[in-house]
Amino acid sequence: MKRVLITGAAGFLGSHLCDKFISEGMHVIGMDNLLTGSLTNIEHLFPNEHFEFYHHDVSKFVHVPGHIDYILHFASPASPIDYLKMPIQTLKVGSLGTHNLLGLARVKKARILVASTSEVYGDPLVHPQKEDYWGNVNPIGPRGVYDEAKRFQEAITMAYHNFHGLETRIVRIFNTYGPRMRVEDGRALPAFFSQAIKDEEITVFGDGSQTRSFCYVDDLIDGIYRLLLSDYHLPVNIGNPQEITIKDFAEEVIRLVGKGRIGYRPLPKDDPKQRQPDITLAREILGWEPKISRSEGISKTYDYFKKVVI
């Protein structure tokens, strides 16, 4: 049986990855320090004999007994509200944590996939964003701790691939949503849903004309799985290229929930004006593209938030 280590296992994406690899007949070792993750996301897996959990911070030395076939590094604060509160931890998990896991992969002769992000493109001057675009990032701005941690993560991963011949994969994840997002996550969709459900003012920053491209979590997990099993070692964008303004997205949520009103706030520093993936490479290399429409996806996500918003 294949054994896979998933860091950030108790988080939004990590928990869905645990489900995916269990369903594919693999033994999953989940690892998380629970800084932003929650055991409620994976408690349904605890009775499963093919799942085990390590409460550990990957910024410290990582040891896992036995063979490992795959490592997926998804540990990191991932929303502005988190990495602005925890800047040092964010930098450490992207640098020291990635170094530790690359070393583990080398010892175990495992293939490793690291979770990068569309934030490596910063506030892009190219639209849509292709993998060969180097980005427009402010390294000392408030978002720099996350953006540069991920850019370093890509650099050290490529160094291990080129110098040690390690089997590596890099996924650049664009905005993703779905069940198990934290209510207090700080990102647009959970904020909009929780505010609308409570009949509060829905916070839109700037005039709402900035764009995002939202991918449903099941589609994203499928893309990540395909990338891991592919022979391609350079970065690949995984996201939904259907672009929408934040204002229009807020209005979609208001129509679905049946209540809410928009309130405008000043735009945060270095907030990207556009975000849309070019997924030509994912189509060509992986045969992947998103299948779940935004209307279907936000309906499923609303069903989840109705249960967890108090």
Of the candidates 70, 121, 146, 216, the residue annotated as catalytic is 146
pLDDT value, residue 186: 81
Q: What is the mean pLDDT of residues 251-264?
A: 92
pLDDT per residue as tens digits for the range 128-176: 999 999 999 999 998 999 999 999 999 999 999 999 999 999 999 999 9
C-alpha 37, offset from chain centre:
13
Q: What is the mean pLDDT of residues 59-72?
A: 98
User: Strand 168-173 relative to strand 236-238: parallel, antiparallel, unpaired?
Assistant: parallel
Residue 270 has pLDDT above 90, yes or no: no
How distant, in Å, are the alpha carbons of 155, 243, 264, 303 from that of 247?
Answer: 35, 12, 10, 22
Domain 188-210+243-275+295-308: top CATH class: alpha beta
Nearest to 212 by CA among 248, 236, 186: 248
Q: In the chain, what are the domain boundaries?
A: 3-177+215-241+277-291, 188-210+243-275+295-308
Q: Is 146 a catalytic residue?
A: yes
Q: What mean pLDDT is reported for the chain? A: 95
Which CATH entry fits the domain spanning 3-177+215-241+277-291: 3.40.50.720, 3.40.50.850, 3.50.50.60, 2.40.10.480? 3.40.50.720
